[in-house]
């Protein structure tokens, strides 16, 4: 099997409106370590720091500079200012990524990503061109359209996570398109360009921090893993 260099784009430009804290969730400390640092450290066994691109908000530059003083290794990563939507942020970051490499895009607010999922995503993307981690829905699902709604078969529904991983030349070509509202993640852009989406098992712990309860749960899980300080 061919060998390709690995790159990582961390989408960390969100404004954390739903969390309701003064500190953006990417920079929020969980047991004395920032959420963003947990993400970086999870990927370090797979991606060199020099190959990490971290997209930050223009409004968060002070948080980013402070984080670099606390974690000097971040100086080796590349930082860029995110765009109005995630689509624009990733599109800008992809300009730094060379062709014929592998690129993973991960949410900066998912600090509980595990090594097995990362490894599976890179391996599947190398083989098939794309890899999207998913988990089963634990809840019943209903489809709502206007005033109508109907039940969907839960076993046919998958919940999508990150890192969404691709052969870089295929993803860069897909991102040549203009933005549409239906582009909710990288897989939707990749699929729109006529590419196949390949799924791999995710991890239920790999949730995105959105509210205070998520922060508390993340702390418990990180302590159980021995990763918190």
What would the pLDDT profile of 121-173 be if each residue is shown by its tens digit?
999 999 999 999 999 998 999 999 999 999 999 999 999 999 999 999 999 99
Residue 90 lies in a domain: yes
Q: What is the spatial distance between Cα 131 and Cα 66, in angstroms, rounded to a whole number?
A: 34
CATH number of the structural domain spanning residue 156: 3.90.550.10
The mean predicted confidence, pLDDT, of the chain is 93
User: Which residue in 47, 201, 198, 42 sits closest to 126, CA to CA?
Assistant: 198
Percent of the chain with pLDDT over 90: 86
Q: What is the pTM of this model?
A: 0.94
Residue 135 lies in a domain: yes
Segment 78-104 mean pLDDT: 95
Residue 177 lies in a domain: yes
Instruction: Report whether pLDDT(5) > 90.
Output: yes
What is the number of domains present in the chain?
1
Segment 20-41 mean pLDDT: 90
Segment 202-220 mean pLDDT: 93
Q: What is the domain extent for residue 14? A: 6-225
Instruction: Report whether pLDDT(176) > 90.
Output: yes
Residue 1 lies in a domain: no
Whole-number pLDDT of residue 132? 98
Query: Who's near 131: CB < 8 A, 6+ residues apart?
Result: 120, 121, 122, 123, 124, 125, 164, 165, 166, 198, 199, 200
Report angle CA 184, 83, 125 to the nearest 5 degrees. 50
Exposure class string for 7-44: b at 16+ Cβ within 10 A, else e: bbbbbbbbebeebeeeebbbbbebeebbbbbbbbebbe
């Amino acid at each position: 099997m061919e060998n390709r260099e690995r790159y990582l784009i961390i989408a960390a430009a969100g404004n954390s409106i739903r969390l309701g804290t003064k500190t953006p969730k990417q920079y929020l400390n969980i047991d004395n370590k920032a959420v963003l640092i947990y993400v970086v450290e999870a990927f370090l066994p797979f991606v060199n720091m020099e190959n990490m691109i971290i997209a930050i908000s223009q409004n968060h530059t002070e948080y980013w500079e402070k984080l670099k003083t606390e974690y000097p290794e971040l100086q080796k990563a590349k930082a860029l200012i995110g765009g109005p939507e995630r689509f624009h942020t990733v599109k800008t970051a992809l300009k730094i990524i060379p062709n014929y490499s592998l690129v993973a895009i991960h949410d900066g607010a998912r600090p509980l990503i595990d090594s097995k999922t990362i490894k599976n995503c890179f391996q599947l993307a190398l083989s098939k061109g794309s890899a999207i981690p998913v988990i089963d829905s634990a809840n019943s699902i209903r489809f709502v359209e206007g005033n109508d709604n109907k039940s969907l078969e839960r076993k046919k529904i998958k919940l999508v996570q990150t890192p969404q991983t691709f052969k870089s030349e295929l993803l860069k070509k897909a991102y040549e398109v203009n933005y549409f509202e239906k582009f909710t993640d990288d897989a939707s852009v990749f699929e729109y360009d006529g590419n196949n989406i390949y799924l791999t098992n995710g991890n239920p712990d790999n949730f995105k921090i959105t509210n205070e309860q998520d922060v508390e749960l993340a702390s418990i899980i990180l302590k159980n893993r021995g990763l918190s300080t």
